[in-house]
A and B are shown apart, each in its own frame.
Chain A
Amino acid sequence: MREEVTALLRSEVARMIEAPETSIDDSAHLAELGMDSLQALQLLVLIERTYSLQIGEQELQQFTSIAAVADVVMSALTVAKAS
């Protein structure tokens, strides 16, 4: 599941920054990749719609890299499944 989430995030980040997916390092800071805070918010909305999740402002602050965002998503999915 995590691989699927990461692949989705990588694909969307690549689209947003207009770069090939193969050039994206999952551990790189999103700002270093060229993303801004508004694009991070758009990424959050995409995640919410794709996985039927609600992600708050606090979690948005953890959107520092693709790997970090995947952590947030996996954690939210675990909580959603348990409730």
Chain B
Amino acid sequence: MNERNSATVASETMRETLSFEQVRNILAHRFPFLMIDRVTEIERGKRLLALKHVTGNELCFLGHFPDQAIFPGVLILEAMAQSVSLLDLLSRETDRPPAKYLGSTDAKFLVPVTPGDSMEIEAVLVKQASRGVIGNVHVYVHGKAVARAEIALGTGENI
């Protein structure tokens, strides 16, 4: 069984999940840029629910901002993009380079995210192709939407 297929399957609910270590084995990202702590739900080919816990110890808070810690929108966007990339990799039937290059985003940031917040990131596949993927993503904190985006990721190959 390869890493992509090694997701934990809870015996009672049959809910597929991924631990932090499993996420790290799938995505190429590493500290301080791995923005997914855990995956709590996976419907391959359809959607994924990921968690990113924001703590006061995040490096970004050294400068964003020194007097008021606000998790940067660009890092929320990165977490959304990694969720789409992860869902894409889990939903692939054929081998091809991972879609990890951000092509375009259409994003809205609705509420500031601060230390102590747990972001629930729901990624839904819009379209998969051999050279890229498009996903629709919503981020929630305590059930309230804090950001949403449509994200296109490419493999880096051209037409």
Check B131 against A41 for contact (C-beta < 8 Å).
yes
Question: Quick one: given A41-B152, A42-B152, A45-B134, are A36 and B127 in contact (CB under 8 Å)?
Answer: no
Check A44 against B127 for contact (C-beta < 8 Å).
yes
Check B131 against A31 for contact (C-beta < 8 Å).
no
The smallest C-beta distance from B154 to any residue of chain A, in angstroms, reads 4
Kindly state the interface size class of chain A when it binds its partner.
Answer: 10 to 19
Question: Quick one: given A30-B159, A36-B154, are A45 and B104 in contact (CB under 8 Å)?
Answer: no
Question: Quick one: given A30-B159, A31-B158, A45-B134, are A38 and B127 in contact (CB under 8 Å)?
Answer: no
Specify which chain A residues have a CB less than 8 angstroms from the CB of B127 in the assembled complex: 41, 44-45, 48
Residue of B nearest to A57 (CB): B129
Within 8 Å by CB of A60, from B129, B153, B157, B158, lies B129
- Cα(A27)–Cα(B130), bound, Å: 24
- Cα(A57)–Cα(B130), bound, Å: 8
Specify which chain B residues have a CB less than 8 angstroms from the CB of A52 in the assembled complex: none
Check B129 against A39 for contact (C-beta < 8 Å).
no
The smallest C-beta distance from B94 to any residue of chain A, in angstroms, reads 10
Specify which chain A residues have a CB less than 8 angstroms from the CB of B158 in the assembled complex: 31, 36-37
The answer to whether B103 has its CB under 8 Å from any CB of chain A is yes
The answer to whether B98 has its CB under 8 Å from any CB of chain A is no
Specify which chain B residues have a CB less than 8 angstroms from the CB of A30 in the assembled complex: 159
Q: Within residues 20 to 76 of chain A, which ones have a CB less than 8 A from any CB in chain B?
A: 30-31, 35-42, 44-45, 48, 57, 60, 63-64
Q: A37-B129, A57-B130 are in contact. List 19 more A-B contacts (CB 8 A).
A: A30-B159, A37-B131, A37-B132, A37-B154, A37-B157, A38-B103, A38-B104, A38-B132, A38-B154, A39-B103, A39-B104, A41-B133, A41-B152, A42-B134, A42-B152, A45-B126, A45-B134, A57-B129, A63-B159
B residues sitting closer than 8 Å to A (CB atoms) are 103-104, 126-127, 129-134, 152-154, 157-159
